[in-house]
Amino acid sequence: MSLLQGFLSLVLSWDGLCQILYVVGTGLLAVAAIWTVKLLMRHAWYMQRLSCFSKPHTNSWLIGHMGKMQSTEEGLQQVDELVQTYKHSCSWFIGPFYHLVRVFHPDFVKPLLMAPASVTVKDELIYDHLRPWLGQSLLISNGEEWSRRRRLLTPAFHFDILKTYVSTFNASTNIMHDKWRRLVSEGSTDLDMFDHVILMTLDSLLKCAFSHSSNCQESNSEYVSAIVELSDLIIDRRQNVLHHWDWIYWKTQQGKRFKKALGVVQRFTKEVIQKRRALISQQKETETQSELTTKPQRKKAFVDIILLSKDENGQGLTDEEIQAEADTFMFAGHDTTASAICWTLYNLAQHPHYQEQCRQEVVDLMQGRDEHQIEWEDLSNLPFTTMCIRETLRLHCPVQAVTRKYTQDMTLPGGRIVPEGAICLVSIYGTHHNPAVWTDPHVFNPMRFETNNEGRDSHAFIPFSSGPRNCIGQKFALAELRVVVALTLLKFRLTPGVNPNLGSSSGGVRRLPQLVLRAEGGLWLRLELVKLPSNLEEPQG
């Protein structure tokens, strides 16, 4: 009691208060000084270790390239210049905080992406902001945790499972086409592809991941709006360095909106998982587990397969872990695939002769059929359309770059060493546009993919990344892409469109590299209904 009284009288007296403030202030200054010295020493260490890489000009040893990496058309052109100048790689630093090696040649990309997952770590620069949404999921976990999850989730992408989703891709595409037909008949012939295709890929994914029909292409869905909002807010946060610190971000308007949208998404996923678990335990009484996971004839949602997956010790994932994975599929699967679809349609609109060649391929495939439905077996019979899709994934790769850290020094060709802990930014865009790798890299030429990989470096074409941390959903995406592109060409002729708000003054398309590659102000195409030969018209009703 007397101790407390002594303390109070010290605080309440003016001299006492000054003494306390002095001690606290000196303490804080000392902490800040130690932090600054450590930061600068770390900076100097990285600068020295990374001196074996060429460094583009900077105005200051401290600020470095801060603010020079832009998510704009000019930002992409800057990558083109870097690739022209440095050919393989260069070093880059964002203030004294982040030290990067930017890599854009297959010889350098390969050892980094093929490194064992045990030494690979997803870095904080790109992935940390996803953590509140995606938790410790496949996309961002590391080491043993990642490898257990990858083993448990791989069965969900087995061919036998993917096959059953093709009818869903057809159905979701047809809903979008009905909408387009309506709009064209009302005179709205110019449409922003992203507006429509994102809703369609979300619709498909909701059906495939959760067996959930959201009707989101026709009416507003709270869940879908929340996913779109979360994706936008993540880009916003990435671009504002102050918002990188949690304690600032959660107090901002954007942070509050993020939390609200996250609540909507997580409530939805949680509810679906609980319902599916209950349904599966009812069915379990009649079927064995292997029948449930692999039986091809019945359609199963991803979430059902994951609910049933067990590791070698008979352990499955908890509801919380399943929720993180389901959220990750929704996040990683919707706008990547939408971007690839939109840019494929754009490239075909720009090149009418290639568009006609693809259309002819689909028309030939549909000969003698009553229904215009793309089947699983058809996917391998669309070689030219597939070449156009691959060329789009090269020229307009949806994901521009992936980043990694390593728990050991990594040796690159020529003896250059990436030190442990430095961030490696593997530029998919840079590799795909490197003139040392591709002739006329900015030209859309599907004939590059005529022969399968012949004479091409295994890491020259990496839209889905490569190595142990490659995209688990790539076969799903390629199947959906082929269905959507084939059906679209069968029903619509595409030409470059105009944004009605800007009119013809909009100029050319300006690429917008965000979480995925988009277009500033939208990607506008003009649609015209295709008149099919009479023997190919679908019976009405």
Give CA–CA dist 530/371, Å, rounded.
16
CB burial of 160-192 (b: ≥16 within 10 Å; e: otherwise) equals ebbbbbbbbbbebbebbbebbeeebeeeebbbb
464 forms part of the interface with ligand HEM (CB under 6 A): yes
Q: For residues 255 and 333, which CB has a smaller minimum distance to ligand HEM in the complex?
A: 333
Tell whether residue 471 is among the known ligand binding residues.
yes
Nearer to ligand HEM, 49 or 122 (CB): 122
> Angle, nearest 10°, between helix axes 193-210 and 319-350?
150
Query: Smallest distance, Å, CB 473 to ligand HEM?
Result: 2
| 348 interacts with ligand HEM by CB under 6 A | no
CB of 397 to ligand HEM, least distance (A): 7
DSSP-assigned letter for residue 108 = H
CA 20/CA 287 separation, integer angstroms: 71
339 C-beta neighbours (distance < 10 Å), count: 28
Rounded alpha-carbon distances, angstroms, from residue 486 to 366, 372, 378, 389, 414: 10, 10, 10, 11, 45
Q: Assess 120 for contact with ligand HEM (CB under 6 A).
A: no
Our measurement of the distance from residue 159's CA atom to the centroid of its chain's CA atoms, rounded to an integer in Å, reads 22
Q: What is the distance between the alpha carbons of residues 118 and 402, in angstroms, rounded to a whole number?
A: 17
In terms of Cα–Cα distance, which of 361, 364, 384 is closest to 535? 364
Distances (CA, A) of 498 to 199, 252, 395, 526: 21, 36, 22, 8
Classify strands 423-427 and 98-103 as parallel, antiparallel or unpaired.
parallel
Site for ligand HEM (CB under 6 A): which residue of 206, 340, 349, 412? 340
By CB under 6 A, tell whether 138 contacts ligand HEM.
Answer: yes
Asked if 197 interacts with ligand HEM (CB under 6 A), we say no
The DSSP output letter for 352 is: H
> Does position 162 bind ligand HEM by CB under 6 A?
no
Supply 520's token pair: 């500033």
Q: Output 91 or 336, the one with its CB closest to ligand HEM.
A: 336
Contact characters 219-248, ligand HEM, x per CB under 6 A = ------------------------------
Which positions from 473 through 492 interact with ligand HEM, judged by CB under 6 A? 473, 476-477
CB of 130 to ligand HEM, least distance (A): 10
Of positions 42, 148, 150, 179, contacts ligand HEM by CB under 6 A: 150
Give the one residue of 162, 345, 389, 471 binding ligand HEM; rule: CB under 6 A: 471
Distance in angstroms (rounded) separating the CA atoms of residues 257 and 229 = 8
Orientation of helix 383-395 relative to helix 352-366, angle to 10°: 140
Work out which of 395, 399, 485, 517 binds ligand HEM, going by CB under 6 A: 399
Cα three-residue angle 432-336-90, rounded to 5 degrees: 35
Q: Which residues pair with 524 in a beta bridge?
A: 192
Answer yes or no whether residue 400 interacts with ligand HEM by CB under 6 A: no
Residue 133 interacting with ligand HEM (CB under 6 A) = no
Decide if residue 328 touches ligand HEM (CB under 6 A): yes
Contacts of 233 (CB under 8 A, 6+ apart): 254, 257, 258, 261
Would you count residue 333 as binding ligand HEM (CB under 6 A)? Answer: yes
Q: Which of 176, 308, 342, 402 binds ligand HEM (CB under 6 A)?
A: 402
Alpha-carbon distance values, 5 to 9, 10, 12, 23 (Å): 6, 9, 10, 20
Residue 398 within binding range of ligand HEM, rule CB under 6 A: yes
**Distance (Å, rounded) from C-alpha 47 to C-alpha 43?**
6
The single-letter code of the amino acid at 16 is G
Asked if 156 interacts with ligand HEM (CB under 6 A), we say no
Residue 523 CA to residue 510 CA, distance in Å, equals 9
For the CB of residue 182, give the shortest distance to ligand HEM in the complex, in Å. Answer: 28
Q: How far is the CB of 476 from ligand HEM (least distance, A)?
A: 5
> 64 or 430: whose CB is closer to ligand HEM?
430
- Quick check: 465 binds ligand HEM (CB under 6 A)? yes
> What's 492's DSSP letter?
E
Query: How many chain residues touch ligand HEM (CB under 6 A)?
Result: 22
Helix (H) or strand (E) holding 512, with range, is strand 511-513
Minimum Å distance from CB 349 to ligand HEM? 19
Residue type, 298: R
User: Is residue 513 part of the contact set for ligand HEM (CB under 6 A)?
Assistant: no
Asked whether position 255 contacts ligand HEM by CB under 6 A, the answer is no
Task: State which residue has the least CB distance to ligand HEM.
Answer: 473
Using CB under 6 A as the binding rule, whether residue 472 contacts ligand HEM is answered as yes
Determine how β-strand 492-496 pairs with β-strand 511-513.
unpaired
Tell me: does residue 467 bind ligand HEM (CB under 6 A).
no
With CB under 6 A as the contact rule, the residue among 108, 329, 354, 406 that binds ligand HEM is: 329
Nearer to ligand HEM, 166 or 366 (CB): 166
Shorter beta-carbon distance to ligand HEM: residue 114 or 530: 114
Q: Give yes or no for residue 332 binding ligand HEM (CB under 6 A).
A: yes
Please give the annotated binding residues, written as ranges: 471
Residue ranges for the known binding site for heme are 471
Binding site for ligand HEM (CB under 6 A): 138-139, 150, 328-329, 332-333, 336-337, 340, 398-399, 402, 463-465, 469, 471-473, 476-477
